[in-house]
C-alpha cells in the first residue's frame, strides 16, 4: 500500500502495487465533443521551433510521432499564428494560408496511426510581441493602447474593421485545420494574449461593440467561436484554453473568467475548457506560464476544480504535473477530466506506455529546470531536454539501434556525462563498466540539488540511476582508475568523464578567507557573518549560495560579473530566483570584476566604466569562479597518442570543458551512439 500526496490509499495486489491498476483512471477513454480520446493524458500546445517558414517539417512529424507512439491520447499542436499582424512564420506554424494544410495532414495521419488524436491551436499574442522580421521594433496590436510591462510596448488599438477582419482570420485558419483533417481546434484565450486583452477591462478600454460591458468584451471571443464552429462543423472538436489566475497585477480576475466560461457553456460554444495559469504581461505571470521547479507540482489543479463546479463540459488541466500518481489523484478527486503534460513528455516520450505497462518507476521525470525546453524555445532553437537529448532530435537519432559490434567500454567518472554514456552504450549492446572514485554517482548534480528549493534537480541522477540499475552495466564506486586497472580490462573504448574541479581566482586575497562555492555546499565549511559572493559564473551557484547563507543568518552581498545575477541560467528560473533575493534582502551588484582583497575590504572593478566597487567589512568571500576541467587522465591521452594503447579514447562533458548538465548528458549520449 502507498499513500498518495493527497492521502489517498492505493491497494496493492498480494503486497505488490499493480501500477497499471493504480493508474486506472488515467487510462480511461474520454469524449471531447465528437472526438474520443483513448486515455486521459494529453500533450498541450507548445512551440517546438521544429517548423520551417510556417510549415510542418519531417522533424516536427517525428517529434510528435514519438509522443504518439509513446501512448499519448491527444496532442494539441503548438500555437499557430495566422494573421499578418502576428505572422511570424520563422518561429511558428502559420495557418494564415493554405501552405500549412498538407504538412498538418501528414502530421495528423502519422499520429492517428498510433490512435492518437491531434488538435491544432490558434494563437495571437496581441500586444505581447518582441519579434520582428527585420530587427526593427514591430507594431503590435491590441484592444486598446495599454502598455505591456514585460514587452515594454504600447500597442496600436485595433480599428473596428480590423477586429472583424481578425475574427474572420481566426475562422479561416480554423477552417484550414479542419481541411487538414485535424480532429479539433483550440482557441487560445489564456495567458494575457490577444483574446485575454479583449476580455480584461484594464486592457480593453474600447467604446465600440467590443468594449465596455462584460457582454461587449466577450463579443470578440464569442464571434470567433460561433463562426469557427460554423466553419469546421459539428464533426470536429472546438475547445478553448483559459487562465483562471493570471498571477499578474492587473490581470483578468478569476471571477470574471469563471463567469465567461459559464457564459460559453450556457451557449454551447465549446466542447472543453483547458485551464492553465500565468500571463505573458508581467515577469511574475510569465513564471507561471513556464513554471520552474520552485512552483509546486500540479499548482493549477485547484483552479480546474473550481471551474468544474460551474461547467459540465470536460475540464483539462496542465502545469507541473510530472508524475503519474499526481495525475491519477487529480482525476480521482474529480478536479479535472484530462491531464496535460508538456515537459513531462519532452523528458520522456514513453510516459504513457510506461504507465500502461505498470513501469512508472522507469519514467524519466521532468525536474522543472526549463533549460533545454523553454530555454531553447525562447532562444529560437528546437526544444529538447537536459535529460533526454533524443527530444527534438528524433530524426537525427532515429537509428538508435543495437551496435553491430559488441565493444568493451570503460567509462571513467560517474557524473551525468559518464552515467549517460554508460547507459546508452549498454542499451546499444556494448559491455560496459563504469568507475567512480567517490562513494556515489551524480557529480555536480549532487551539489546543485543541495541548494534551497533545488532538491528536485537531484531527479537527474535518480532517473539515470534507475536506468543503470535496469541495464547490465558494472558500476564500481570508491575506485580510482589506474593504468593497471585499465590494462586488466583490455577495453576497446575508454570514455573520460571525470568532470571539473573548482578553483580560486589567481589574485591577492589579503587577510580575507576565500572559499570556493563547491566547498561551501559540499563540505559545509564554516564561514564568517559578513559574506561577499564573488559571482563570476552567474549561474545557479551564486544565487543558490546567497539564498542558503541568508537563510542561515549571514549578511550576504552577491556581486556578479554579468548584467544580472544568474545571467547564465534560463531566464524564468533566474527571474524567480531574483525575486527570492529581493525578498531575502540580498544586496546585489552587477557588472563587477573581482580585483583583490585587503584589510577587510574586497575590491571589484566595474566591467564597463573601470571604476572601483568596494565591499567593506567582509569576513569571507565565497568564490564562484570558473571551474577547471579535470586533467587527471591526460597521461592516458598521451599514451594513446604515442601508440602505447590501442583503444578508442573519448573525453566528454566537463572533462572536455566545464559547461552544464545538458552538454554533459548530450555528449555522453552522442559519444555512445558513435560506438
Ligand X SMILES: Cc1cc2nc3c(=O)[nH]c(=O)nc-3n(C[C@H](O)[C@H](O)[C@H](O)COP(=O)(O)O)c2cc1C
Residues that bind ligand X (CB under 6 A): 44-47, 78-79, 121, 123, 188, 241, 276, 290-291, 318-321, 340-344, 373-374, 377, 383
Q: What are residue 272's DSSP bridge partners? A: 239
Q: How far is the CB of 229 from ligand SF4 (least distance, A)?
A: 35
Q: How far is the CB of 27 from ligand X (least distance, A)?
A: 19
Q: Which does 410 bind (CB under 5 to 8 A by kind): ligand SF4, ligand X, none?
A: none
Label residue 265 exposed, middle or buried (CB < 10 Å: 0-12, 13-18, 19+).
middle
Nearer to ligand X, 45 or 157 (CB): 45
Q: Which does 613 bind (CB under 5 to 8 A by kind): ligand X, ligand SF4, none?
A: none
Of 17-25, 56-64, 385-393, 407-415, which part binds ligand SF4 (CB under 6 A)?
385-393
Q: What are residue 412's DSSP bridge partners? A: 435, 496
Question: Which 362-381 positions form the footprint of ligand SF4 (CB under 6 A)?
Answer: 366-373
Nearer to ligand X, 343 or 428 (CB): 343
Cα within 13 Å of Cα(588), Cβ side: 23
CA distance linking residue 523 with residue 55, whole number of Å: 53
DSSP assignment letter at 117: E
Q: Which does 78 bind (CB under 5 to 8 A by kind): ligand X, ligand SF4, none?
A: ligand X
Q: Is 630 helix (H, G, I), strand (E, B) or coil?
A: coil
Q: How far is the CB of 566 from ligand SF4 (least distance, A)?
A: 16
Query: Residue 450 is placed in which grid cell?
Result: 543541495
Of 34-42, 382-390, 574-582, 622-630, which part binds ligand SF4 (CB under 6 A)?
382-390
Nearer to ligand SF4, 142 or 387 (CB): 387
Question: Which 329-358 positions form the footprint of ligand SF4 (CB under 6 A)?
Answer: 343, 346-347
Q: Which does 22 bind (CB under 5 to 8 A by kind): ligand X, ligand SF4, none?
A: none
Label residue 44 exposed, middle or buried (CB < 10 Å: 0-12, 13-18, 19+).
buried
Query: Residue 205 is placed in which grid cell?
Result: 478600454
Nearer to ligand X, 44 or 54 (CB): 44
Measured in whole angstroms, how far is the alpha carbon of residue 19 from the centre of its chain? 26
Nearer to ligand X, 47 or 416 (CB): 47
Query: Residue 522 is placed in which grid cell?
Result: 559540499
Residue with cell 591521452: 637
- 390: contact with ligand SF4 by CB under 6 A: no
Nearer to ligand SF4, 151 or 397 (CB): 397
Chain residue at closest Cβ approach to ligand X: 79
Count interface residues toward ligand SF4 (CB under 6 A). Answer: 14
Q: Is 641 helix (H, G, I), strand (E, B) or coil?
A: helix
Nearer to ligand SF4, 183 or 467 (CB): 467
**What are the DSSP calls for 357-398, one per residue?**
TT-GGG--------TTTHHHHHTTS----SS-TTTT-TTTTT
Nearer to ligand SF4, 102 or 296 (CB): 296
162 phi and psi, to 5 degrees? -70, -35
CA distance linking residue 384 with residue 377, whole number of Å: 9
Label residue 254 exposed, middle or buried (CB < 10 Å: 0-12, 13-18, 19+).
middle
Q: How many CB atoms lie within 10 A of CB 634?
A: 12
CA distance linking residue 604 with residue 591, whole number of Å: 9
Q: Which does 276 bind (CB under 5 to 8 A by kind): ligand X, ligand SF4, none?
A: ligand X
Q: Which does 565 bind (CB under 5 to 8 A by kind): ligand SF4, ligand X, none?
A: none
Q: Which does 385 bind (CB under 5 to 8 A by kind): ligand X, ligand SF4, none?
A: ligand SF4
356 phi and psi, to 5 degrees? -65, -35
Q: Which does 655 bind (CB under 5 to 8 A by kind): ligand X, ligand SF4, none?
A: none
Q: How far is the CB of 103 from ligand X (least distance, A)?
A: 17
* Site of interaction with ligand SF4 (CB under 6 A): 343, 346-347, 366-373, 385-387
Amino acid at each position: 500500500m502507498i499513500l498518495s500526496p493527497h492521502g489517498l490509499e492505493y491497494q496493492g495486489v498480494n503486497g505488490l502495487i499493480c501500477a497499471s491498476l493504480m493508474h486506472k483512471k488515467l487510462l480511461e477513454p474520454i469524449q471531447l465533443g465528437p472526438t474520443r480520446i483513448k486515455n486521459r493524458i494529453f500533450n498541450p500546445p507548445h512551440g517546438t521551433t521544429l517548423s520551417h517558414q510556417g510549415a510542418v517539417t519531417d522533424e516536427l512529424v517525428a517529434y510528435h510521432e514519438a509522443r504518439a507512439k509513446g501512448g499519448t491520447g491527444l496532442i494539441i499542436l503548438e500555437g499557430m499564428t495566422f494573421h499578418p499582424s502576428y505572422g511570424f512564420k520563422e518561429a511558428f506554424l502559420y495557418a494564415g494560408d493554405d501552405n500549412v494544410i498538407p504538412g498538418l495532414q501528414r502530421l495528423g495521419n502519422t499520429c492517428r496511426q498510433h490512435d492518437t488524436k491531434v488538435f491544432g491551436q490558434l494563437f495571437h499574442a496581441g500586444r505581447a510581441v518582441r519579434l520582428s522580421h527585420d530587427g526593427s521594433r514591430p507594431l503590435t496590436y491590441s484592444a486598446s493602447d495599454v502598455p505591456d510591462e514585460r514587452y515594454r510596448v504600447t500597442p496600436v488599438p485595433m480599428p473596428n474593421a480590423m477586429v472583424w477582419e481578425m475574427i474572420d482570420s481566426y475562422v479561416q485558419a480554423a477552417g484550414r485545420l479542419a481541411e487538414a483533417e485535424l480532429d479539433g481546434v483550440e482557441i487560445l484565450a489564456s495567458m494575457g494574449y490577444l483574446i485575454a486583452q479583449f476580455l480584461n477591462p484594464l486592457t480593453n478600454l474600447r467604446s465600440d461593440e467590443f468594449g465596455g460591458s462584460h457582454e461587449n468584451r466577450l463579443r470578440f471571443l464569442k464571434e470567433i467561436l460561433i463562426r469557427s464552429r460554423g466553419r469546421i462543423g459539428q464533426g470536429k472538436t472546438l475547445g478553448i484554453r483559459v487562465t483562471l489566475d493570471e498571477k499578474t497585477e492587473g490581470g483578468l480576475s478569476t471571477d470574471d473568467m469563471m463567469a465567461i466560461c459559464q457564459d460559453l457553456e450556457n451557449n454551447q460554444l465549446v466542447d472543453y475548457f483547458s485551464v492553465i495559469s500565468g500571463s505573458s504581461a508581467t515577469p511574475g505571470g510569465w513564471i507561471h506560464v513556464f513554471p520552474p521547479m520552485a512552483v509546486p507540482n500540479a499548482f493549477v489543479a485547484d483552479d480546474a476544480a473550481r471551474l468544474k463546479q460551474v461547467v459540465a463540459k470536460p475540464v483539462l488541466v496542465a502545469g507541473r504535473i510530472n508524475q503519474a500518481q499526481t495525475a491519477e489523484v487529480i482525476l480521482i478527486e474529480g478536479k479535472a477530466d484530462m491531464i496535460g503534460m508538456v515537459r513531462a513528455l519532452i523528458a520522456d516520450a514513453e510516459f504513457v506506455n510506461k504507465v500502461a505497462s505498470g513501469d512508472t518507476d522507469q519514467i524519466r521525470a521532468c525536474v522543472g529546470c526549463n533549460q533545454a525546453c523553454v530555454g531553447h524555445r525562447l532562444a529560437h532553437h528546437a526544444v529538447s531536454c537536459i535529460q533526454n537529448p533524443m527530444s527534438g532530435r528524433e530524426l537525427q537519432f532515429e537509428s538508435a539501434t543495437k551496435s553491430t559490434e559488441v565493444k568493451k567500454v570503460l567509462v571513467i567518472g560517474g557524473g551525468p556525462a559518464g552515467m549517460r554514456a554508460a547507459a546508452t552504450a549498454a542499451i546499444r549492446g556494448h559491455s560496459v563498466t563504469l568507475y567512480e572514485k567517490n562513494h556515489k554517482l551524480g557529480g555536480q548534480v549532487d551539489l546543485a540539488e543541495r541548494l534551497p528549493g533545488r532538491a528536485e534537480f537531484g531527479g537527474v541522477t535518480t532517473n539515470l540511476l534507475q536506468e543503470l540499475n535496469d541495464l547490465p552495466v558494472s558500476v564500481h564506486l570508491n575506485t580510482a582508475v589506474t593504468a593497471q586497472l585499465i590494462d586488466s580490462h583490455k577495453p576497446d573504448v575508454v570514455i573520460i568523464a571525470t568532470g571539473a574541479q573548482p578553483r580560486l581566482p589567481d589574485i591577492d586575497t589579503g587577510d580575507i578567507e576565500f572559499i570556493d562555492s563547491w566547498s561551501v555546499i559540499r563540505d559545509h565549511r564554516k564561514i564568517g557573518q559578513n559574506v561577499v559572493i564573488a559571482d563570476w559564473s552567474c549561474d545557479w551557484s551564486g544565487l543558490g549560495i546567497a539564498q542558503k547563507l541568508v537563510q542561515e543568518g549571514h549578511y550576504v552581498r552577491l556581486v556578479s560579473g554579468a548584467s544580472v545575477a544568474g545571467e547564465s541560467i534560463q531566464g524564468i528560473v533566474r527571474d524567480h530566483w531574483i525575486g527570492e533575493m529581493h525578498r531575502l534582502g540580498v544586496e546585489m551588484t552587477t557588472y563587477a570584476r573581482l580585483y583583490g582583497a585587503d584589510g577587510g575590504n574586497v575590491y571589484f572593478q566595474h566591467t564597463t566604466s573601470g571604476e572601483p566597487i568596494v565591499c567593506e567589512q567582509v569576513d569571507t568571500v565565497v568564490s564562484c569562479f570558473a571551474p577547471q576541467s579535470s586533467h587527471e587522465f591526460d597521461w592516458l591521452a598521451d599514451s594513446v597518442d604515442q601508440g602505447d594503447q590501442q583503444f578508442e579514447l573519448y573525453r566528454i562533458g566537463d572533462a572536455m570543458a566545464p559547461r552544464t548538465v545538458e552538454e554533459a548528458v548530450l555528449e555522453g549520449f552522442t559519444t555512445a551512439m558513435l560506438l
